[in-house]
């Protein structure tokens, strides 16, 4: 079996994101040793939440501008499930409730943890905790943190419409596609 051991690290950039270059000793399956250098975007854990209203058969998504899509020459306004980074000392469940309130203005009535994923394991250490939630009462304004430049619009639509949009390529955010597929398999209601 291949084994890896980190033997060194240097920080290349440490702004909003940290980019580090690691030196890694690899022992290959055939027993030979080699030294690798790998740049890694060192990320916090994060959460993503599919918010649904099972009685109405709808999902509540957020539409927000994403600069990486713009860099590719794509439409930067992506339709996504609510998501964000977990703060230091915060539980994934608390982060899910905080992000949903910040971005949509809603409380969560019921929350179900699904599973964790590495969304981009070749380049980022981010671990993403996925949740499905039933939407609760409106308790705030939503729209994201204005001081962080967030400008988030809420989009509620029937689940079937979101599904059809995804199949046409109109929902291109990976975590959102995975969450819609889970909801298709197991339904919109939470436990
Ligand atoms: N990328 C980036 N974002 C920045 C920067 N400076 C400020 N921000 C802002 O920091 C905020 C972070 O908001 P969150 O809600 O915590 O995260 P997110 O941007 O929604 O990202 C979530 O989804 C991503 C994948 O879709 C995840 O990769 C990410 O970890 C997180 O889960 C965003 O408004 C973003 O615009 C910067 O230099 N780079
Ligand atoms: Mg967010």
CATH number at residue 51: 3.90.79.10
User: Would you say 131 and 96 are in contact if contact means Cβ atoms under 8 Å apart?
Assistant: yes
Residue 60: what pLDDT?
98
Instruction: List beta partners, residue 110.
Output: 134
pLDDT bracket for residue 144 (50, 70, 90): confident
Mutate to test the pocket of ligand 1, among 80, 87, 123, 150 (most ligand atoms within 8 A of CB): 150
Give the ligand 1 atom nearest the CA of 15. 38
Domain hosting residue 28, numbered range = 3-42
Mean of all residue pLDDT scores within the chain: 97
- Tell whether 93 and 151 lie within a shared domain: yes
- Tell whether 36 and 17 lie within a shared domain: yes
- Tell whether 182 and 88 lie within a shared domain: yes
Give the Cα separation of 133 and 141 in Å (integer): 19
- List, for residues 25-67, the tens digit of each pLDDT value: 999 999 999 999 999 999 999 999 999 999 999 999 999 999 9
Residue 31: what pLDDT?
97
Ligand 1 centroid, distance to 56 Cα (angstroms)? 30
Give the ligand 1 atom nearest the CA of 120. 28
- Tell whether 12 and 70 lie within a shared domain: no
- List, for residues 100-142, the tens digit of each pLDDT value: 999 999 999 999 999 999 999 999 999 999 999 999 999 988 8
Number of structural domains found in the chain: 2
Say if residue 133 is exposed, middle or buried (CB neighbours under 10 Å; 0-12, 13-18, 19+): buried
* Token pair in block for residue 65: 């501008």
φ/ψ of 26, rounded to 5, equals -110, 130
- Tell whether 29 and 82 lie within a shared domain: no
- Tell whether 36 and 56 lie within a shared domain: no
- Tell whether 36 and 120 lie within a shared domain: no
Annotated binding site: 83, 99, 103, 150
Average pLDDT of the segment spanning 152-165: 97
Total residue length of the chain: 191
Question: What ipTM score was computed for the predicted complex, to two decimals?
Answer: 0.92
Say if residue 31 is exposed, middle or buried (CB neighbours under 10 Å; 0-12, 13-18, 19+): exposed
Give the Cα separation of 119 and 85 in Å (integer): 13
- The answer to whether position 155 is within a domain reads yes
- The answer to whether position 32 is within a domain reads yes
Q: Is the pTM of this model over 0.90?
A: yes
Ligand 2 centroid, distance to 145 Cα (angstroms)? 9
- Tell whether 76 and 36 lie within a shared domain: no
Nearest CA to ligand 1 atom 19: 84
- Tell whether 60 and 77 lie within a shared domain: yes
* Token pair in block for residue 174: 């990976």
- Tell whether 34 and 69 lie within a shared domain: no
User: Would you say 175 and 128 are in contact if contact means Cβ atoms under 8 Å apart?
Assistant: yes
Nearest CA to ligand 1 atom 3: 16
End-to-end CA separation in angstroms for the chain:
40
Residues with CB under 6 A from ligand 1: 15-17, 43, 46, 83-85, 99, 126, 148-150, 173, 175
């Amino acid at each position: 079996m291949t084994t890896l051991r980190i033997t060194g690290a240097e920080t290349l950039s440490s702004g909003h994101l940290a980019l580090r270059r690691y030196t890694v000793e690899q022992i290959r399956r055939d027993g030979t040793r080699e030294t690798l250098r790998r740049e890694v975007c060192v990320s916090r854990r994060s959460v993503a939440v599919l918010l649904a209203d099972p009685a109405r058969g709808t999902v509540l998504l957020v539409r927000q501008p994403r600069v990486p899509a713009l860099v590719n020459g794509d439409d930067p306004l992506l339709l996504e499930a609510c998501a964000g980074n977990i703060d230091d000392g915060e539980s994934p469940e608390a982060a899910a409730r905080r992000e949903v309130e910040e971005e949509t203005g809603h409380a969560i009535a019921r929350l179900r943890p699904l599973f964790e994923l590495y969304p981009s394991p070749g380049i980022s250490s981010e671990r993403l905790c996925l949740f499905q939630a039933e939407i609760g009462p409106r308790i705030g304004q939503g729209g994201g943190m204005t001081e962080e430049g967030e400008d988030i619009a809420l989009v509620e639509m029937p689940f079937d419409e979101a599904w059809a949009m995804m199949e046409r390529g109109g929902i291109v955010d990976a975590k959102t596609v995975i969450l819609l597929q889970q909801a298709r398999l197991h339904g919109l209601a939470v436990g």
